[in-house]
């Protein structure tokens, strides 16, 4: 059952962890999506901001060119050189690197006095800017590279142009005013600082044309023999969500879009594209490394996990607290239920014999004195006595159970002669068993005769088992008590007591709960069901307490086998302990004082008990003086002549002065017999601490209530003969 619970608990933990893992995975996935979404929004905002900034810069450049054109018109230059000189000075004070005037015939007059004729090579290249103004464009902006390799020169420009109307110099009609600006100038407007970490930029912006050419790249084309085209860069990568064709189509459609891409170095990136407004045929592109996203989501994830761990920790602690509380509640309920069941059982168990006692008393009262019915009354008295004994054993068992369950049982470790112990069982059970015409066989194989242990408790267990066997074994059956030993090491041995009967056996269901309290199996074949139902439970608890094991095998109508294995330390010697098995026999060795009856001072506050005891003792020849409390007992003893009282029976709980206090006062009296008079504690409190308290107060022995008359008489006989109470202590 416990194993199942443990398995279920582990299953719950695993299931819990699984759920947490799945939840975390889903959470992190959702978190990534959310962060990506937010980052995309951020990128979108940044891109649109930079794009607007570039658009504003382009507008400003056009405006500057138009302002320049207006000034040129006012200069009224008469020669080209004069115009070129004006352009030279204007250029020197502007952001433009070059200022060109595009004539209607295609010639270009420059601020550097060079005239480009599209019909002729200049440094192995032809410079023709007419196509940019061939469709009536008023304003033009485009990327324009000036490559004059013959001069070891290559320049990347952004070309701004404004159409001129009615502008002539020296009879030459000019079509457009053009400003060339280094791409670095516009690049300054798109510096991406939002994804900096430790000074390293994890993103960049660029402006590309629909043909994939970098209008403005992350850096100018440093190496002239390298291809600088977006599609070429994309093709060199290892992964892209979109093909070049799909991207081209989207650019063609002026869509805003983004996609993931892994470059040739394996670096994951997100590319975001948004078209420029108006007649600018460019795309703004923002590229951000994927790690910028993952780092941000990682930060969230770490925070979330930390929070989750804290929350789980708190929840776990709360759960543990709740579980502990619940467990305590369950235990309390179980205890209450157990107590209730116990009370119910006890009520049943006590009421049943009480009912018998009351009934028998009634019968005896109605029939007593009737002639011819003495035998009948004697029979009822025997039954009454038997029932009262049963009640006593029930109370004793309950007390035993209580002590065992509370862990208050104190086991004695003393040398035991195993054979003697088994003989005692045999002698105690022999009559009981043989009277039932059941054979009782004892088999012994005891290589280690003397072991350490609590002989009383072992006998209690064995008596229970053998007694049960006797109860449930039918006439003609056989009970075999076999004892063997297994040596575990040089100093330890396990003694195995095996009781096999040929009785009625037990059902499988009952075997499973045979060690539960108040468990009894009703069996029609059994002639006795009398018992408290606590015997086996007590036996189990005792064996457990002794570190042993008790097992039962049973088959209905075949028989039952109980096996008790008790480990024990091997005792060094055996002879000196052999005579301790039956210390109660001492009383027989010490007869009362000859010449006068033994005088007993009886301190008892309960009148009925006092009367019964007085009658019993008087009938047995004792002289009894009654004291109603401890104080009176002290007084009577003090008033008596020395040696007048042989024995004092001292009830422990009494009004005015309790027994222990009274005993101490008596012992402290200044008279010769104060230290020698035998004082027997007489109490219903049978726990060890009660006995210890009695000894500490100077009492010699202990009589448990209800008092067994035979035991009482034996003790009194012994006590009366004793001269030194300290040497006859029998606790």
Partner 1 sequence: MKRLQRIIGLFLVAACLLSGCGAGVQPEGRGEQKRDVTIILKAPVQEMNCISNPEITNTQAFLERVGYAFTEQYEAANVTIDVKMFALADEVSAVAETFDTEDAPDILYEGYFNMAGYIHTGRVVPLDDMITEAIRSDIYDSAWTISMTNGKTYMMPFLTMQNILIYNKEYFQSCGLDAYCGEGTEIQNWTMDEWTEILDTLAANLPEDVHPIAMYGKNNQGDTHIMSYLRAFGSKIFDDEGNFDLESPEAVRALEWLQGGVERGWYPPHPENLEMKDCSELFSTKKMVLYNFNGANKSLYDDLNHYGFVNYPGDVATSFPNGFEVFDNGDEEKVRIAKDFLRYLYETPEWLELSAGNIPMSKTVAEKHAGQITMLSDFVANSGHVVDFMNNSPNWQGENDSVRSVFYPHIAELLAGQVTPEECAAALNRDCNAALESGRQRSVLHK
Residues in contact with partner 1 by the rule CB under 8 A = 79-81, 84-85, 88-89, 91-92, 111-115, 117, 120, 122-124, 148-155, 220, 222-226
CB of 77 to partner 1, least distance (A): 12
Nearer to partner 1, 87 or 141 (CB): 87
Nearer to partner 1, 114 or 545 (CB): 114
SS3 at position 381: helix
CB of 176 to partner 1, least distance (A): 20
Nearer to partner 1, 13 or 92 (CB): 92
Nearer to partner 1, 81 or 529 (CB): 81
CB of 95 to partner 1, least distance (A): 14
Strands (E), 556-618: 559-569, 599-603
CB of 91 to partner 1, least distance (A): 7
Nearer to partner 1, 122 or 386 (CB): 122
Q: Are 731 and 681 in contact (CB under 8 A)?
A: no
CB of 7 to partner 1, least distance (A): 57
Nearer to partner 1, 168 or 410 (CB): 168
Q: State the Cα–Cα distance between residues 468 and 530, nearest whole angstrom.
A: 10
CB of 117 to partner 1, least distance (A): 8
Exposure class string for 532-557: b at 16+ Cβ within 10 A, else e: bbbbbbbbbbbbeebebebebebebe
Cβ contacts of residue 433 below 8 Å, gap of 6+? 439, 440, 466, 470, 473, 479
Nearer to partner 1, 156 or 665 (CB): 156
Q: In this structure, what DSSP letter does residue 490 have? A: S
Neighbouring CB atoms inside 10 A of 708's CB total 14
Question: How buried is residue 264: exposed, middle or buried, by Cβ count under 10 Å (0-12/13-18/19+)?
Answer: exposed
Neighbouring CB atoms inside 10 A of 287's CB total 21
DSSP string, 142-168: EEEEEEEGGGTEEEEEEEEEEEEEEEE
Q: State the Cα–Cα distance between residues 139 and 132, nearest whole angstrom.
A: 9
Cis preceding-peptide flag for 624 (omega within 30 of 0): no
Nearer to partner 1, 124 or 431 (CB): 124
CB of 169 to partner 1, least distance (A): 12
Instruction: Give the residue from 82, 124, 126, 128 showing the smallest Cα distance to 103.
Output: 128
Instruction: Give the residue from 649, 664, 638 showing the smallest Cα distance to 701.
Output: 649
CB of 105 to partner 1, least distance (A): 16
* CA 637 to the chain's CA centroid: 65
CB of 113 to partner 1, least distance (A): 5
Q: State the Cα–Cα distance between residues 183 and 220, nearest whole angstrom.
A: 7
Nearer to partner 1, 97 or 429 (CB): 97
Nearer to partner 1, 107 or 471 (CB): 107
Q: For strand 200-201 and strand 647-651, is the pairing parallel, antiparallel, or unpaired?
A: unpaired
Q: State the Cα–Cα distance between residues 328 and 344, nearest whole angstrom.
A: 23
| Total number of residues shown for the chain | 731
Structure tokens at 401: 């159970």
CB of 193 to partner 1, least distance (A): 20
């Amino acid at each position: 059952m416990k194993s199942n619970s443990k398995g279920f608990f582990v299953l719950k933990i695993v299931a819990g962890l699984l759920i947490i893992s799945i939840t975390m995975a889903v959470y992190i996935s959702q978190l990534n999506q959310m962060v990506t979404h937010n980052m995309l929004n951020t990128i979108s905002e940044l891109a649109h901001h930079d794009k607007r900034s570039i658009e504003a810069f382009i507008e400003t450049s056009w405006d500057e060119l138009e302002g320049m054109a207006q000034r040129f018109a006012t200069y009224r230059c008469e020669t080209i050189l004069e115009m070129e000189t004006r352009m030279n000075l204007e250029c020197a004070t502007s952001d433009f690197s070059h200022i060109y005037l595009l004539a209607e015939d295609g010639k270009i007059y420059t601020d550097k006095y060079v005239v480009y004729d599209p019909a002729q090579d200049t440094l192995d290249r032809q410079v023709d800017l007419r196509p940019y103004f061939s469709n009536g464009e008023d304003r033009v902006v485009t990327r324009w590279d000036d490559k004059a390799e013959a001069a070891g020169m290559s320049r990347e420009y952004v070309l701004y142009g404004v159409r001129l109307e009615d502008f002539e110099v020296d009879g030459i009609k000019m079509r457009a005013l053009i400003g060339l600006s280094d791409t670095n100038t516009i690049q300054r407007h798109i510096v991406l600082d939002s994804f900096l970490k430790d000074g390293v930029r994890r993103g960049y912006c660029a402006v590309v044309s629909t043909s994939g050419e970098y209008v403005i790249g992350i850096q100018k084309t440093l190496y002239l023999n390298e291809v600088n085209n977006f599609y070429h860069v994309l093709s060199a990568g290892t992964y892209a969500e979109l093909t070049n064709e799909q991207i081209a189509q989207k650019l063609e459609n002026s869509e805003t879009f983004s996609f993931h891409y892994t470059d040739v170095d394996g670096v994951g990136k997100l590319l975001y594209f948004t078209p420029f407004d108006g007649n600018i045929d460019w795309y703004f592109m923002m590229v951000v490394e994927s790690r910028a996203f993952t780092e941000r989501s990682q930060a969230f994830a770490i925070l979330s996990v930390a929070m989750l761990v804290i929350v789980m920790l708190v929840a776990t602690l709360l759960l543990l607290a709740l579980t502990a509380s619940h467990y305590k509640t369950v235990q309390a309920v179980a205890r209450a239920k157990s107590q209730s069941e116990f009370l119910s059982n006890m009520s049943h168990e006590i009421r049943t014999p009480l009912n018998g006692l009351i009934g028998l008393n009634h019968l005896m009262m109605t029939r007593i004195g009737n002639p011819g019915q003495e035998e009948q009354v004697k029979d009822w008295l025997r039954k009454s006595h038997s029932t009262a004994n049963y009640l006593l054993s029930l109370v004793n068992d309950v007390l035993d159970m209580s002590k065992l369950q509370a862990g208050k049982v104190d086991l004695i470790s003393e040398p035991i002669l195993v054979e003697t112990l088994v003989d005692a069982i045999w002698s105690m059970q022999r009559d009981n068993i043989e009277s039932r015409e059941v054979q009782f066989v004892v088999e012994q194989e005891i290589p280690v005769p003397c072991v350490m242990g609590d002989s009383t408790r072992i006998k209690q267990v064995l008596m229970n088992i053998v007694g049960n066997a006797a109860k449930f074994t039918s006439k003609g059956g056989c009970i075999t008590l076999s004892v063997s030993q297994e040596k575990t090491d040089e100093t330890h041995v396990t003694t195995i007591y095996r009781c096999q009967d040929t009785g009625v056996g037990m059902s499988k269901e009952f075997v499973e709960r045979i060690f539960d309290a108040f468990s009894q199996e009703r069996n029609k074949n059994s002639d006795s069901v009398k018992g408290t139902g606590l015997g086996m439970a007590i036996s189990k608890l005792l064996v457990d307490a002794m570190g042993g094991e008790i097992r039962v095998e049973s088959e209905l109508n075949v028989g039952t086998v109980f096996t008790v294995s008790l480990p024990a330390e091997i005792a060094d010697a055996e002879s000196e302990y052999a005579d301790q098995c039956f210390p109660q026999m001492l009383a027989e060795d010490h007869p009362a004082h000859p010449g006068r009856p033994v005088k007993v001072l009886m301190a008892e506050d309960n009148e009925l008990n006092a009367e019964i005891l007085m009658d019993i003792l008087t009938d047995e020849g004792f002289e009894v003086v009654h004291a109603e409390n401890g104080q009176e007992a002290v007084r009577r003893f003090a008033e008596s002549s020395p040696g007048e009282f042989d024995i004092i029976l001292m009830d422990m709980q009494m009004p005015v002065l309790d027994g222990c206090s009274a005993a101490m006062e008596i012992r402290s009296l200044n008279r010769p017999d104060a230290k020698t008079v035998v004082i027997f504690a007489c109490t219903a409190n049978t726990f060890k601490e009660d006995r210890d308290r009695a000894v500490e107060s100077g009492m010699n022995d202990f009589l448990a209530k209800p008092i067994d008359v035979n035991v009482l008489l034996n003790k009194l006989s012994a006590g009366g003969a004793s001269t030194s109470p300290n040497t006859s202590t029998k606790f």
